[in-house]
Amino acid sequence: GAVVSQHPSRVICKSGTSVKIECRSLDFQATTMFWYRQFPKQSLMLMATSNEGSKATYEQGVEKDKFLINHASLTLSTLTVTSAHPEDSSFYICSAPLEQNNYGYTFGSGTRLTVV
Amino acid sequence: RKEVEQDPGPFNVPEGATVAFNCTYSNSASQSFFWYRQDCRKEPKLLMSVYSSGNEDGRFTAQLNRASQYISLLIRDSKLSDSATYLCVVNTGGFKTIFGAGTRLFVKA
C-alpha cells in the first residue's frame, strides 16, 4: 500500500535552533501533503497544506515564517521549524491523500520534537 | 461548537464487550467520513471509511446518518488489542479534513 516515510521520528534540539522534518511518499506521487501538529491528549490540528511546485497554504494562526514548508518534488515535502522554542515541542505528522479523498489518507509515522 | 465532536471517554470495557462511539459534525456539506485508530505516540491509521449504507469489517461496523449529522463505530467482541484512541475524521470538500479529538478505549482482561 501507499507509504509515507517521515524522518526523524524523534528530535531534541536547543531553543533557537532550526529543525527539518522530511516526508517522502515511497510508492506513489504526492502532489499534496498535509502537515499536522498534535499536542498531548488533543486532536490533530492542520498547520498547512503543501503543494508540489507552488507555495504552501497555511491555516489561520500558523506563522509561515516560522514553519517553512517546501514541496520540492512529487515525493518529498519538508517542514522546517525555525528558531524553535519550548512551546513548539509537539508531535508533528504529515499525511497524503490516497485518491480523491474517498480512500482516506496515509500518514507518516510522526516526529516528536522536544525543544529544551 | 466544534466542527467534529466526539466523546473523549475513556471507555473502559471488559474483553468481549460491545462498545459504540458516536461522532457529530456541524457542516452539512461534509462529503467523506472515516474512522482512524491512533495508538499512543503513533500515527493514525485508517480503520474504515464510512458510507451512507453502513459498512462492516469483521467486528467493526460503521454507520452514517446524514440527516442527524453523526457517524458511529461499533466494536463487537472487544479484544485487548482494540485499546487505542479512535478518531472521527470528516472531509468537508476538496482536501479540507477535520479530525475529532478522539475517543479513548481501554479493553481490560
pLDDT, tens digit, 9 for 90 and up, residues B43-91: 888 899 898 888 999 999 999 999 999 999 999 999 999 999 999 999 8
C-alpha grid cell for residue A73? 518534488
Q: Is the pLDDT of residue A37 over 70?
A: yes
User: Cα separations (Å) of B82 from A54, A110, B33, B58?
Assistant: 41, 21, 20, 13
Interface contact B34-A42, CB threshold 8 A: no
Residues of B in contact with A109 (CB under 8 A): 42-43
Q: Please say whether the beta carbons of B21 and B72 come within 8 A.
A: yes
The mean pLDDT value of chain B amounts to 91
Question: Please, which pLDDT band fits residue A16 given cuts at 50, 70 and 90?
Answer: very high
Cell 524522518 identifies what position?
A7
Q: Which of A97, A103, A107 has the CB atom closest to B43's CB atom?
A: A107
Interface contact B44-A49, CB threshold 8 A: no
pLDDT tens by residue, A49-99: 998 888 999 999 999 999 999 998 999 999 999 999 999 999 999 999 876
Q: Is the pLDDT of residue B106 over 80?
A: yes
The pLDDT score that the predictor gives to residue A103 is: 61
Calpha distance A82→A32 (Å, rounded):
22
Q: Which of A25-29, A39-43, B54-58, B64-68 has the lowest mean pLDDT?
A: A39-43
Interface contact B97-A32, CB threshold 8 A: no
Q: Which of B32, B42, B102 has the CB atom closest to A102's CB atom?
A: B32
The pLDDT score that the predictor gives to residue A12 is: 96
Closest CA to B4 of B39, B45, B53, B50: B50
| Residues counted in chain B | 109
Residues B62-95 as b/e (b if ≥16 CB within 10 A, e otherwise) read: bbbeeeeebbbbebeebeeebbbbbbbbbbbeeb
Cell 534540539 identifies what position?
A13
Distance to chain A for B56, nearest Cα, Å: 16
The pLDDT score that the predictor gives to residue A102 is: 57
C-alpha grid cell for residue B109? 482482561
The pLDDT score that the predictor gives to residue A99 is: 67
Q: Which of A32, A43, A104 has the CB atom closest to B34's CB atom?
A: A104
The pLDDT score that the predictor gives to residue B41 is: 80
Q: Please say whether the beta carbons of B25 and B90 come within 8 A.
A: yes
Q: Is the pLDDT of residue A100 over 70?
A: no
Interface of A with B (CB under 8 A): 6, 32, 34, 36, 42-46, 49, 91, 93, 97, 101-110, 112
